[in-house]
Amino acid sequence: MRSALAIALAITMSTAGAAVWAQNAPAPAAAPAPAPAPVVTKAKCDNPNALGVERIVQIDTTGGPGFGFEHFKAYDFLRDHEVVLTFDDGPWPGNTERVLKALAENCTKALFFPIGKHAGWHPEILKEVVKAGHTVGSHTWSHKDLSKLSDEEAKAEIEKGIAAVSIALGNKPVGPFFRFPALRHPPEMLKYVGTRNLGVFSTDLDSFDFKMRRPEQVVNSVMKKLEKHGKGIVLMHDFQHATAEAVSDLLKKLKAGGFKVVQVVGKTPVEPLPEYKAAVLKEIGGGLDVARPMSSVIQTIQGN
């Protein structure tokens, strides 16, 4: 489940030179008018009964704020009957595509926390997640419990995860959101992700879908907890087959229950560190950034 190099440029000039420049400098040009804020338009939706998206919330992740009342209490940004849908551990063939299909049919959006290795194995799927308009964060390189690692090992897990997601997306920056595996937050690593300006997502409602084998169990788990708490950040896994099968029915139940989806986006994406990009490419090879869907590259033309 669940430094950065600072470059200082100092420019010096003599006092006399500065005075001459000041005397001969042209009058400053008028400041350009600020660019208008981007307008977010709703995508066309052909389903009149779709759950949709009620609000889009932009989060400034400077300093590494935490979200999800299971561990963090400072930022309660959801209103009554609002939910944030989150999916961990993907991308995974079959399951992630099924989740994407259900979300598309209901014209709604989610926040995905992919594992770095899985992103490297299936970059074409992760590209589809972004293409569909969902938010993508990161969830470490290999889902190790960071509380059991040294600080350097844990740092590498975090950074390689970010790098792998970036590479899989075509060397693009990543959404500035991070979820610790098993929701275990070592204090030193909380401090570290703060220096990387990563918003940390815990959860309000853990579906515990990884313990379930039937889709109806997943739906019942989520709905009972939502009916009790009235709102929340919901933790699920697009890695899990039962969840992938459950999402379509769950979204219908959310709609019927009067729940509304809030999409979370980051103000400033996170860039991978070059040394960790190099480490990821060394481990799983190149070509991920330009990978096409496998079906468009390789086809069986004879035999089963």
pLDDT digits (tens, 9 = 90+) for 150-177: 999 999 999 999 999 999 999 999 999 9
What pLDDT is recorded for position 195? 98
Q: Residue 236: in which H helix or E strand, if any?
A: strand 232-237
pLDDT higher than 90, residue 3 = no
DSSP 8: -
List, in order, residues 6 or more apart from 160 with CB less than 8 Å away. Answer: 116, 140, 141, 276, 279, 280
Q: Sheet of 199-201: strands edge to edge?
A: 66-67, 199-201, 177-178
**Averaged pLDDT score across all residues of the chain:** 87
- Ramachandran quadrant class, 252 (left: phi over 0; alpha: psi -120 to 50; beta: rest): alpha
Q: HSE on the CB side for 214, CA within 13 Å? A: 3
pLDDT score at 7: 31
What tens digit of pLDDT does each residue of 74-129 get? 999 999 999 999 999 999 999 999 999 999 999 999 999 999 999 999 999 999 99
Tokens matching residue 199: 């918003």
The tokens of 283 are what? 């481990």
Task: Please provide the size of the chain in residues.
Answer: 304
Instruction: Name the pLDDT band for 46 (thresholds 50, 70, 90).
Output: confident
pLDDT at 22: 31
Burial (CB count within 10 angstroms: exposed 0-12, middle 13-18, buried 19+), residue 218: buried
Pair 127, 274: CB distance under 8 Å = no
What pLDDT score was predicted for residue 173? Answer: 94
Do 151 and 171 contact (CB within 8 A), yes or no? no
Residue from 183, 186, 162, 182 nearest 174 by CA = 162
Task: Round to whole Å and give the CA distance between 259 and 43.
Answer: 20
pLDDT band at 5 (very low <50, low <70, confident <90, very high): very low
pLDDT in tens, 51-66: 999 999 999 999 999 9
The span from the CA of 268 to the CA of 65, in Å, is 13
pLDDT in the model for residue 296: 66
